[in-house]
Homo-oligomer: A and B are copies of this chain.
Amino acid sequence: MALRKGAGRISSSTDEERKNLLLSIAEALDCSREIIRKANDADLKNAEEKGLQPSLMKRLAFTDEKIDSSIQGLRELCSLPDPIGKVLEKRELDPGFILERVSFPIGVIAMIFEARPDALVQIAGLSLRSGNAVVLKGGSEARNTNRTLVDIISKAAGSDWILGVESHEDVSVLLGMDGYIDLVIPRGSNAFVRYVMDHTRIPVIGHADGICSVYIDASANAEMAVRIAVDSKTQYPAACNSAETFLVHESAAPVILPNLNAEFLHLGVKVRADERAIQYMPEAIPSVPDDFDKEFLSLECAVKVVSSIEEAIEHIAEHSSHHTDAIVTESEEAKRLFFQKVDSADVFCNCSTRFADGFRFGLGAEVGISTGKIHARGPVGLSGLMTSRWLLSGHGETVAEYSGRNGKSFHHKELI
């Protein structure tokens, strides 16, 4: 497979070379607006004939503004430090016998993503910056745009490290190529991510559901609590980092819930409240247990009154999808307990769950948000696309010398 060779070439290229390729792609996109527009128009026309939803049409449209921001994104990738060759550990095993663990690209990554053509440019840029070859399978609605973009990128930066595939059958082929592809990153519905995991031996970084919660502690500042709850729920309800569940300490409930109720009514948020919460939220629907396991992704939420912070932590352990969970509190002790016990990718104190995002975290662009615990967790930036190698430099050392009763022993001195 040619990509394997391309991966080898690009993994040993210099920082400067990869930056120059990124800038070439940015320039090529800028000069190809006409061709891109034609291809995108064809996709939009097909989509309209098929009756695609307006929200999806909007995502499919690769407007001049989106091209601008894609170009901007590629330029910003150049400003991030080179992810290749970072010395992660350095240890002297014995005088002059030096071991280093150094970051290195994973190799060939397959990304399967939704219709947005801007995602293609971003993912190609991240792969190139991190020295990885990439196979891109975009949504079929964007077929013409994606093909054109891969073509422009290949012409500007070489075709041996990037491959666009188009059909659904290609996905099955990709998932079977465990000798050639090192990592699969599917972006899509939970069902799709599970399908991918079930049909491949290749490691998968999954971007699954977000059932995020905000716990409002006994000691919370009431104004702050309502502000954070409102932002977590309403700032962009369709995002995976929006809150679905609010847990309120019983001693805070009489102050918090009437205010929260007023805000939610005002903003059109439908509330499903348990029997203790509904006393303060008379317009709410009585909750059923399932409501606390739901990702609403809309202006709906579930509210529950808890008797203690421990009950909140237990509720989160049982019902959260371990994406992002936040506490609002003025107590250092409550924060400490929450941070110690809540095993989610992102654990926040006194801020909105909506901050769970690679850009806001300062990771540069993001590949997605992983709710898995292996390799990468939470927002995944360039470092999630890296592995490492152990480099050992000696002067003729043999294991025989270090064996047996009279053998030499290691001194294992940390150098960083």
Contact = CB atoms under 8 A, between A and B. Distances in A.
Given A197-B201, A389-B377, A397 B351 contact: yes
Query: DSSP majority for the A interface?
Result: mixed
A201 B203 contact: no
Given A182-B373, A348-B394, A400-B235, A93 B362 contact: yes
A389 B231 contact: no
A227 B396 CA distance: 8
B393 A349 contact: yes
Task: State how many copies of this chain the complex holds.
Answer: 2
A147 B16 CA distance: 58
Nearest to A178: B197
Interface stretch (A32-40, A164-172, A335-343): A335-343
Nearest to A389: B347
Given A12-B340, A203-B372, A398-B231, A345 B392 contact: no
B99 A347 contact: no
Interface string A341-385: 101111111111011100011100000000011110111000000
Contacts of A183: 373-374
Which interface residue of A182, A235, A389 has the most chain B CB atoms within 10 A?
Answer: A389
Interface in A382-411: 387-400, 402-403, 410
A215 interface: no
Contacts of A340: 12
Given A183-B374, A231-B400, A392 B11 contact: no
Interface of A: 8, 11-12, 91, 93, 97, 99, 104, 106-107, 182-183, 194, 197-198, 201, 203, 221, 224, 227-228, 230-231, 235-236, 317, 335, 339-341, 343-352, 354-356, 360-362, 372-375, 377-379, 387-400, 402-403, 410, 412
Given A351-B97, A395-B350, A360 B194 contact: no
Contact of A107 (B335, B373, B378, B390): B373
A198 B340 CA distance: 35
A395 B351 CA distance: 7
Nearest to A397: B351
Contacts of A341: 8, 12
A343 B12 CA distance: 10
The 5 lowest CB-CB distance pairs between A and B, nearest first, are A351-B394, A231-B398, A362-B412, A354-B399, A224-B396
A197 B200 CA distance: 9
A375 B375 contact: yes
Given A317-B8, A390-B346, A399 B99 contact: no
A374 B362 CA distance: 23
B201 A348 contact: no
A228 B398 contact: yes
Contact of A360 (B352, B361, B410): B410
Given A203-B374, A343-B107, A361-B99, A392 B235 contact: no
A392 B351 contact: yes
A364 B13 CA distance: 34
B390 A378 contact: yes
A379 B373 contact: no
Nearest to A234: B400
